[in-house]
Amino acid sequence: MSGDDLCFLPATDLRGRIGRKQISPLEVTRAVLARAERLQPELNCFITLCADEALAEAKSAERRIMRGDSVGILEGIPFTVKDLVNTKGVRTTFGAIPFRDNVPDHDAVAVGRLRAAGAILIGKTTTPEFGSKCLTDSPLFGRTRNAWSKARSSGGSSGGAAVAVASGIAPLAVATDGGGSTRIPAACNGVVGLKQSNGMIPHSQAPDAFGNQTYVTPMTRTVADTALMMQAMAGEDACDPWSIGIPAADFIDRALPHGDLAGKKIRYCLAPAGRKVSADVAAAFSAGLKTLEALGADLEEMPGDGFDVEPIWRAINHTVWRTRFERLAADHPDELSETFVRQLALAQRTSGIDYQQAMFDRTLLFRRVQSLLQRADALAMPTLSRTALPLEQELFGTIEIDNEVFNEVRANWFPWTMPFNMTGHPAVSIPCGFGSDGLPVGLQLVGRFRGDAGLLHMCALFEAAQNSLDRWPREADGGLR
C-alpha cells in the first residue's frame, strides 16, 4: 500500500490495522506528514506542523503496541487541531498576528481527551482571526484553498480542518462551530462535520459557559470516524455546566449502518422564507431526500418561516466579540484585518436591550425547533445555498447564486446553520452529491436535543446508501484544479 493510499484510510480502518500490527503508528505518521508537507504549499491549510513531536509520539505508541500494553481507542492515529483550540506546548495563534507567538501551557479538554486516547497531533489548521467568518483567510497566513479546486474558498471558519481531512492529510480533525464554522467547510470540501448538542463535548475555552453558542467539534471523512472521535471527546467535565449529567453513549456502536429508517419521520425544507438555493444544490438535496425515503423514512415538508436568525446571531455574537476584542483592536490597529475591525464596529450598534431581546428570541427559536421535533425524528435541509465561493470572496462582498446577486453573504449562503448554534440541537453536514461545477454539496440533518447518537445512526445509513466514499480530491486525479 502506497503512502497516499494509507493517508486515505478511515481512522476506524487504521485502528484495526494498528491493533493487529499490520501497520505501525510510525508508518502512518510519516505518511501523513509527508503528504502534509507536499500539499501545504498548494492548499495552505496548516499554520503549524509539529513533525518532530508527532514522530516521537508515534515511536512511543509503537513501543506500547509491540509490548502488548493496554492502549487507547485512537492509539497511533493522526489528528489535527484548529488554531483556535488550545494545545499544550504547540503554538495557538487564533489566526491573529498579535497572538502569532502564543504557546498555551495546557490542552483544551477535548484535545486532552484525544491525546489520552492515543491520538497523535500532527499540526494546527488555519482559521480566520478568532474564527470570525465563513471564509478561511487571515493577514497572518493568507488564504486556504478548497481541497477540490484551488480557485475556490475552503469555507470557514474551520477551513483548514476540512481541507486537511478531505485531501487525505489526516483522518481526524478538531474544529469549532459558532454559526456553522464546522458544517460550512464540511459542505464545501465534501466531508462530515458535526455540531453536537450543547454540552455533549465540554467547551473549556468558552468565556460565557451559560450563554455559549460555540462548540469544539469533530470533523472526519466518514460517519464512523466522527463516532470514534465523539467516543473519545464526549462526557461531562466540571468546566462546562451544560456537560454535567449527560449520560454516556456508545457512539461507535450506534454509528454502524445496521437496519433502516422505517418508522422514522423527517421534516424537510429547501430554504428559509425569502432565501434562494441554486438549482444544482436543489437537485442534490432532492436526491438526498429520495435516498432517505428509500431507507424507509417518512418525509414531510415543513414551512421555512421563522428561521431568519441573522438579527439574533448578530446581536449575541457581535456583542461577545466587542467585549472580547475591542481593547485588542485598539492596541493593535495595524495588525488586524479590515474585515475583522468592521465586524467589531457593527457591535457598537447593539444595546443592552437589543442583546436581551435576542436572548428572548433565542428561547423562542429553541421552542419552535422543539415543537417541530416533537412530530419528527430529524429535520433536513441543504447545508449551503450554493457550492464553495470563489477564493477571493470577501465577507462584506456580494454573493452570486445562479446569476442572481445578493448583498449579504451570511444570510444568503448559510441561512440554515446558525439557527442550531442558537438552539443547541445536534446538526451535521454530510456529503450528498456534487454540483454542476464538480464541487461537493452538503445535506444538513438536525436531530433531537442530545439525540446525537441517533443522528449519527441516521447519517451512517445515509452514507452507506450514497456509496460515495471512494471519491476524494487527489492531486494526481486533477483534484486541485
Residues known to be catalytic: 82, 157, 181
Return contacts of 110-113, CB within 8 angstroms, 24+ apart: 110/85, 110/174, 110/201, 110/202, 110/203, 110/204, 110/216, 110/233, 111/81, 111/85, 111/86, 111/87, 111/174, 112/88, 113/232, 113/233, 113/235
Of 74, 56, 50, 63, which Cα lies nearest the Cα of 24? 63
Of 39, 117, 35, which Cα lies nearest the Cα of 74? 117
Q: How far apart are CA 426 and CA 468, in angstroms?
A: 23
Query: What is the sign of the dihedral through the CA atoms of 362, 419, 254 and 260?
Result: positive
Element (H, E) at 360: helix 352-374
Total Cβ atoms within 10 A of residue 258 = 11
Query: Cell numbers at residue 10, please?
Result: 478511515
